[in-house]
Structure 1
Amino acid sequence: MPWLALVPSPFTGAAAWRPTAQRLPGAVAVDYGGVRGPDWYDGVTRRTAEAMGDGAWVAVLHSGAGAFAPSLADAGAAGLIFVDAVRPHPGRSLRDVDPGIVNHLEARATDGRLAPWNLWFDQDPLPRFLPDPAPRAAFVADLPRPPVAFLDAPAPTSDAWERLPSAYLQLSRRYAVQADWARSRGWPVRAADLHHLAMATHPDEVAALLRDVLDLFDLDI
């Protein structure tokens, strides 16, 4: 029975998690196909819960998927692990949280949809993160193009996530502030000198880090 939901960012696809899922029995790289309106957050939560079935499960949230923590907690997640992830922002939209990046993304959008994640930057970072052409092509093929309207969608308001056992894995220096936030909450924090997409390129290391913090949760799953 699946018990570990590896949830990708709304701006990347399940391909990011599949290599790590193969190293963790009972793990599922959740494929929700990108956010779809108008139930942006609830839709992702519903598809994640459907993928996990009736048993207890832990949500592992990468990057922008950190924003799904409140709704996933309401849907029955027994614990949360944030992996190079943003903080939850219940009741607020991405524009409320970071108007600068929203303006940047809007400038690169076409036909009412955001550009693929690798085209958000002046130089595509994927050749550096994923030097092997085959995995890189699979990753690119899996990239969703969320509607621009998602940037203004408020996340569901809930505090259930704050009562769950939680931990933080920092894979890149860019998420040091978020890791410090997790430490301030008394969560276990593990840091690795890897990169933001390390779950795709260093699955053994990331799987080991996940096992480490899961052992601290003491969950009956």
Structure 2
Amino acid sequence: MTDTALVLVHSPLVGPLSWRSVAQRVEARGVPTAVPSLLAADGVPESWRPQADAVASASASLEEGARRFLVGHSAAGPLLPACGAAIAARGSPVAGYLFVDAPLPAPGSWFDTAPPEMARMLRDLTGPDGRLPRWSDWWPPEVILRLLPDPTLRQQFCDELPRVPLAMFEEQRADIEGWADAPCGYLQLSGEYAADAAAAEQRGWPVERLESHHLGMLTQPAEIADALERLLSRMG
């Protein structure tokens, strides 16, 4: 993978810390990485535009001519086609896409495909300012304690969580034609994304499944780095 570079895109609901430990391990193997921050890129309508621009700006820090693979976790998955288009507009076509415990890109808004009970929960959680509480506060406290038992890591993770606008879930996603012509792969970390992993397999993509959890990049970075390397080797 000497000419490969990874752009590790965090979910807009969390922060770049979610990828940093994986990035360190990937770079230790000689693969350059970029970890963009989407924390300031939540303007609506069309929040995907500043988010894609932030990813393209981070990608520009990588060596010219490197084969850039976009890796998106969770809610970053549907953003990857727009990010790829923004990078290509700067003269560096994306070599492929990797989805990590993420929904696959689809037309429409998040609410169009969300389970009704989840949509109701988010509307009920929305504050008077139109923003949601931090992602960690969507769930009972024991959920985050179970995912991130180390108190220091948990505090660091929670400290950078943004309060995103509900409107971000209502806006129409970017409709980018031809993005799936590039090689794609899928890494499943939790049971909640079994259907997405199965859909990726049906498309003929290479799929890896780990016994982990949705924030496994924070607690099992070496295993995640290994799985990404295996997927990249299968994607060509």
TM-score band w.r.t. shorter chain:
over 0.9
1:107 matched to 2:124: yes
- 1:155 and 1:144 map into 2 onto residues whose CA distance is 20
Aligned residues of 2:4 and 2:69 also touching (Cα < 8 A): no
1:37 offset after TM fit, Å? 1.5
Gaps of 5+ in 2: 89-93
Across the aligned residues of Structure 1 and Structure 2, the Cα RMSD in angstroms comes to 1.7
Letter in 2 for 1:29: V
Q: Give the Cα–Cα distance (whole angstroms) in 1 for the partners of residues 191 and 34 of structure 2.
A: 27
Q: Tell me if the contact between 1:114 and 1:148 (Cα under 8 Å) persists in the aligned partners.
A: yes
Question: What one-letter code is carried by the residue in structure 1 that aligns with 2:17?
Answer: A
2:165 is the alignment partner of 1:163: no
Aligned with 1:81: secondary structure?
A: strand
Say if 1:11 and 1:17 are closer, same or farther in 2 by CA, change over 3 A: same
Of 6, 11, 15, which aligns to 2:8?
6
Aligned residue runs from structure 1 range 72-221, under 5 A: 72-75=83-86, 76=88, 77-90=94-107, 92-98=108-114, 100=116, 101-110=118-127, 111-218=129-236
Structure 1 position 157, deviation (Å) = 1.0
Displacement of 1:34 in angstroms is 5.3
Retained in 2: the 8 A contact 1:10–1:34? Answer: no
8 Å contact kept, 1:67–1:86:
yes
What's the CA shift for 1:42?
A: 1.2
**Letter of the 1:10 counterpart:** P
Shift of residue 217, structure 1, vs aligned partner: 2.5
For 1:65 and 1:34, locate their aligned partners in 2 and report how far apart those are by CA, in whole Å. 15
- Between stretches 180-189 and 3-12, larger displacement belongs to 3-12
What stretches of structure 1 move > 2 A for 4+ residues in a row? none
Partner amino acid for 1:8?
A: H
Helix, strand or coil at the partner of 1:113: coil
- Structure 2 Cα separation of the partners of residues 162 and 52 of structure 1: 19
Q: TM-score if structure 2 supplies the norm length?
A: 0.87
The answer to which of 206-215 and 92-101 deviates more is 92-101
Report the alpha carbon displacement of residue 160 of structure 1 after superposing the two structures with TM: 2.3
Decide whether aligned partners of structure 1 residues 34 and 106 sit closer, same or farther in structure 2, where only a CA change above 3 A counts. farther
* Amino acid corresponding to residue 89 of structure 1 in structure 2: A
Q: Aligned with 1:32: secondary structure?
A: coil
What CA distance in whole angstroms lies between the structure 1 residues aligned with 2:162 and 2:144? 15
Between Structure 1 and Structure 2, how many residues are aligned?
217
Q: What is the deviation of 1:98?
A: 1.2
**Counterpart in the other structure of 2:24:** 22
Aligned residues of 1:70 and 1:88 also touching (Cα < 8 A):
yes
> Structure 1 stretches of 5 or more lacking a match?
none
Counterpart position of 2:53: 46
Q: Which letter maps to 1:98?
A: A
What is the distance in 1 between the residues matched to 2:172 and 2:56? Answer: 21
| CA pair 41-164 structure 1, distance change in 2 beyond 3 A | same
Give the whole-Å Cα distance in 1 for the aligned partners of 2:33 and 2:114: 32
Match of 2:37 among 31, 38, 60: 31
Aligned identity (percent) is 36
Cα distance in 2, alignment partners of residues 190 and 3 from structure 1: 20
